[in-house]
Amino acid sequence: MNSQLLKIKQNIILYDDTLISEVDENLFDLEFWANHEETQLINKGRGKVLLINCQGLPSVLKHYYRGGLVSNFLSETYLWQGERNARSIKEFMVLQEMFQAGLPVPRPIAARVNRQGIFYTADLITSRIDNSSSMGDLLRENSMSSDLWKNTGSCIASFHMKGFYHHDLNIENILIDSDQNVFLLDFDKALQMDPSNSMAQKNINRLQRSLNKNFSNPSKPFPKAEWEILIEEHSKQLHQD
């Protein structure tokens, strides 16, 4: 894997030149991709993503949107603090480190920052995990088997063992393919540090809050036995000699 930095007008583009070669700002233009027949628009969380074909690679294009109260004023713009601190550049770099470490994440293809004075907007293109569903979708379909709960615990532990901590681990950021492989997505503001039991527990607690929200209806009780399977496997993997 190799990264190249390209500057075009107010655009700063970081890309993997082993995956793509012809790079310009059109790669991140939603209107450009809307004219392609195979493009699909997916609503996701507070924003939208496009499923695209980037130079022959099935890919996902994500535009960064803010959350919280500040989103009412600055829905998609961020304060410029240097290119290495830009959201899409940072996520590209941490994804590349994870991918090289053998962790189950989408491979980063390209990131773009569009600087506008003291503000910027951001975009990221990653590889697509085909034939997959989020953990949330599978829960809504009652399709989470015991093996999948176990695989999910093992997957999360694999990141914690190498010191990577998701900023917002929830059931929509866990993807499971048709072969029951588990992937983690959306590493905006992720942390890499020395392995930490307290940080691992914070991740687990965040996932549990996401599950509690999903099972808030009294007619749909929290899956205690299945959750224990995930916790047991996570702990087993994290503390193995």
| Catalytic positions, written as ranges | 168
CA distance 1 to 100: 8
Nearest C-alpha neighbor of 172 from the set 163, 181, 184, 160: 184
Amino acid identity of 170?
N
Q: Which residues contact 63 (CB under 8 A, 6 or more apart)?
A: 28, 30, 47, 48, 49, 76, 121, 122, 123
Containing 59, the helix (H) or strand (E) segment is strand 57-63
Distance CA 113, CA 130 (A): 27
Bridge partners of 16, per DSSP, are 3
C-alpha dist (Å) from residue 82 to 85, 89, 119: 5, 10, 10
SS3 141: coil
The single-letter code of the amino acid at 164 is F
CB atoms within 10 A of CB 4: 14
Q: How far is CA 38 from CA 110, 185, 212, in A?
A: 20, 23, 37
